[in-house]
Every structure is written in C-alpha cells, then in structure tokens.
Amino acid sequence: MIANHSFAQLPLPADSVYQIIKANSIYRNNVNWNLIDKEFKNQLDTSKTLQDTMKCFVHVFEKLNDPHSAIYFNNVYYGYYRTYSDSVVKLLRPLLNIETELKQIFSNHEVSSYVSIVRGIRTLFSSVYLLRAVAGMVAPGGKEINSKVNAIQTLIVCKQDDEFKITLFQNTPAAFHCREELSSKLTKELQQAWNRQL
C-alpha cells in the first residue's frame, strides 16, 4: 500500500485509484512495477494540490505508454497523450470537419431503427455508474434484426450536481467469431424485444 496524505481531495484514496490502474491496465505485464511504485509514491508524497495528485496518475499512464486510459474528475480528463508529428496531424485534420460531414450524410440517408436491452446497472463508486447493454438494428421499412450489426455496449456515467454526464461509451460489434449459437441467441432476443415494442 502507498500512503497518501492528499486523499481527501479525491472521492476515494489515491492508492485505491492506483491499484485499479495497476490491476486493470492492458500494459500491466510490460513494465517494471517496482520502479513505478517508487516513482508514484515519491510524486504523491510531494503533492500539494489536486493537480499535483492527478499528475501522479498521468505519470503512471506515461510509464505504461498508455494513451487510451484516462481519469475523468471534476469535468477534466487526466491522461497521457502522445505528441504527434506534423505528418500525422495533417492526416487527422479532415476529422475536424466531421460534424459537417455527418450532417450531409444523414440529411440524405434514412437511418435504421434501434432496439436495446439493458443487461445491468452497477454502482462503481458513490457517483459513478456502469450500464451494460446490447443493441440491434432494423433496416428502414424492415421487420427483422440485422444480426451483422448487433452490438455490445458499455456506458459509464458520473453524477455531478444532480446531472449525469457520459464519461465513456463503448460500442463493440457482437461478432462472436466461431460461436454462431451465441450470435443466433442474441439476435433472437433482440428480435423479441423489437416485436414487443411494435
């Protein structure tokens, strides 16, 4: 355990957050945890502000070389974001106009109808909730679920000032490679849910 004198600034002890990162990072087997433990403890011991404490976690993400993970706290994301060369920025620049592009696509395109089934809602922390669901789509004018676009969804929300704010939405294709029976079972379940709402 790592002592933390600044835990009162966070909704849970910094050591608990650190242990969650350590246990769940997909890069956890690629680093020297003894070194990271030592660096984290040293940084945390000298933390004087909330920003200092959050920088400790950013440093852990950096040591893990993990640009995908972040902590969302007080309406701010704290994560390690790699810098990119100008050539990469040039490739990404067209994405800045994505809203305009999507409006053009959907103004001339009839979208499918959706059906979803909530699998469960769980409290992760006092004001952080996890929702798990599955979803399916029916083509415009159709009646059958298109099994090729079924999805498994995860939503994490934080409650702040009596408002729920989405922190993470993950939409994963329910491909079930080489397990056709699971795909058929999910499609049947979604079809029943679709039929009930007609």
In tens, the pLDDT along 155-187 reads 888 888 888 888 888 889 998 888 889 999 999
Contacts of 184 (CB under 8 A, 6+ apart): 147
- Position 101, amino acid: E
> Domain locations in the chain?
7-79, 111-174+189-197
The first and second tokens of residue 141, run together, are 């004018």
Grade residue 25 by pLDDT with cuts at 50, 70 and 90.
Answer: confident
- Phi, psi dihedrals of residue 113, rounded to the nearest 5°: -90, 150
The whole-angstrom separation of Cα 124 and Cα 158 is 10
75: left (phi over 0), alpha (psi -120 to 50) or beta: left
Give domain 111-174+189-197's CATH number out of 2.60.40.420, 2.160.10.10, 3.10.450.50, 3.40.1550.10: 3.10.450.50
Question: Cβ(149)–Cβ(142) under 8 Å?
Answer: no
Question: Cβ(2)–Cβ(37) under 8 Å?
Answer: yes
Looking at residue 2, its pLDDT comes to 43
- Phi, psi dihedrals of residue 3, rounded to the nearest 5°: -65, 145
The whole-angstrom separation of Cα 139 and Cα 79 is 39
* Residue with tokens 């974001």, as numbered in its chain: 81
Secondary structure class of 10 (helix, strand, coil):
coil
The whole-angstrom separation of Cα 172 and Cα 134 is 9
* Residue with tokens 């490739």, as numbered in its chain: 91
The whole-angstrom separation of Cα 102 and Cα 97 is 9
In tens, the pLDDT along 92-129 reads 666 666 667 777 777 777 888 989 999 999 888 888 88
